[in-house]
Amino acid sequence: MLSAVTVIEPKDASNVSNCTRDDLIEQVKLTIISHPYLDDTLNNIRQEPVPWEDYKQVGLISENEMAMIKYVENKSIKELEPIMAEHGQYYALLYLELMQKLARVDALQKVLVFIHDMLNEHEERIFLFHKANKNNSEFPFGPFYKALGINDEFIGIQSSKLLTLLICSTPHRDIDIQAFFRWVTFQLQSRHQHVVDLHVQILDALFHIPEYRRVFWETSHAIDALIHVLKANTQSDPQKIYELTFAIWLLTFDPHVAKHLNKKCNIIPLLVDHAKTSVKEKVVRVIIATFKNLIEKAPAQNMSAMLVAKLLPLTEHLATRKWTDQEMMEDIEFVKNELQQNFQRLGTFEVYASKVETGMLQWESPSHASETFWKQNANRFNEKDQHLLRLLARLLSRSSDPVVMAIACHDIGQYIKYSTDPNSKSYLQSIGAKQRIMELMTHQDSEVKYQALCATQKYFAMTT
Q: For 161-188, give the DSSP string.
A: HHHHHHHHT-S---S-HHHHHHHHHHHT
Residue-level pLDDT at 188? 97
Handedness of CA 112, 215, 245, 221 (dihedral sign): negative
Q: From CA 225, how far away is CA 198, in angstroms rounded?
A: 14
Give yes or no for a contact between 119 and 125, defined as CB atoms under 8 angstroms apart. Answer: yes
Give yes or no for a contact between 106 and 152, defined as CB atoms under 8 angstroms apart. Answer: no
Residue-level pLDDT at 27? 53
Q: From CA 260, how far away is CA 246, in angstroms rounded?
A: 18
Residue-level pLDDT at 357? 84
Number of Cβ within a 10 Å radius of residue 22: 9
- The per-residue pLDDT string of the chain (464 residues; one tens digit each, 9 = 90 and over) reads 333 333 344 444 544 445 554 554 455 444 468 899 999 999 999 999 999 999 999 999 999 999 999 999 999 999 999 999 999 999 999 999 999 999 999 999 999 999 999 999 898 899 999 998 887 889 999 999 999 999 999 999 999 999 999 999 998 888 889 999 999 999 999 999 999 999 999 999 999 899 999 999 999 999 999 999 999 987 778 999 999 999 999 999 999 999 999 999 999 999 999 999 998 999 999 999 999 999 999 998 999 889 888 899 999 999 999 999 999 999 999 999 999 988 776 667 888 888 888 888 888 776 787 888 899 999 999 998 999 999 999 999 999 999 999 999 999 999 999 999 999 989 999 999 999 999 999 999 999 999 999 999 999 887 54
Residue-level pLDDT at 349? 84
Look up residue 237 and give its amino acid. Answer: D
Look at residue 244 and give its three-state secondary structure.
helix
- Cβ-Cβ contacts under 8 Å for 46 (sequence gap 6 or more): 113, 117
Residue of 78, 37, 49, 47 lying closest to 161 (CA atoms): 37
Rg (C-alpha) for the chain, rounded Å, is: 28
Q: Is 321 exposed, middle or buried (0-12, 13-18, 19+ CB in 10 A)?
A: exposed
Look up residue 366 and give its amino acid. Answer: P
Residue-level pLDDT at 259? 97
Residue-level pLDDT at 369? 76
What are the distances in angstroms from CA 82 to CA 64, 72, 236, 347?
20, 11, 43, 71
Q: From CA 198, how far away is CA 204, in angstroms rounded?
A: 10
What are the distances in angstroms from CA 400 to CA 142, 272, 394, 406?
46, 22, 11, 11
Residue of 351, 350, 317 lying closest to 335 (CA atoms): 317
Residue of 455, 446, 384, 449 lying closest to 414 (CA atoms): 455
Name the pTM for this structure.
0.80
What are the distances in angstroms from CA 207 to CA 81, 132, 181?
32, 26, 11
Q: Give φ, ψ of 86 to 5 degrees.
A: -95, -35
Instruction: Give the chain's largest Cα–Cα span.
Output: 94
CA atoms within 13 A on the CB side of 377: 19
Beta strands in 153-286 (DSSP E): none
CA atoms within 13 A on the CB side of 278: 26
Q: Provide long-range contacts, Cβ within 8 A and 24+ apart, for 109-114.
A: 109/45, 109/48, 109/152, 109/154, 109/155, 110/45, 110/48, 110/50, 112/45, 112/147, 112/154, 112/155, 112/158, 112/159, 112/162, 113/42, 113/45, 113/46, 114/69, 114/72, 114/73
Residue of 234, 205, 196 lying closest to 31 (CA atoms): 205
Number of H helices, E strands in the chain: 27, 0
- 205: part of which helix (H) or strand (E)? helix 193-206
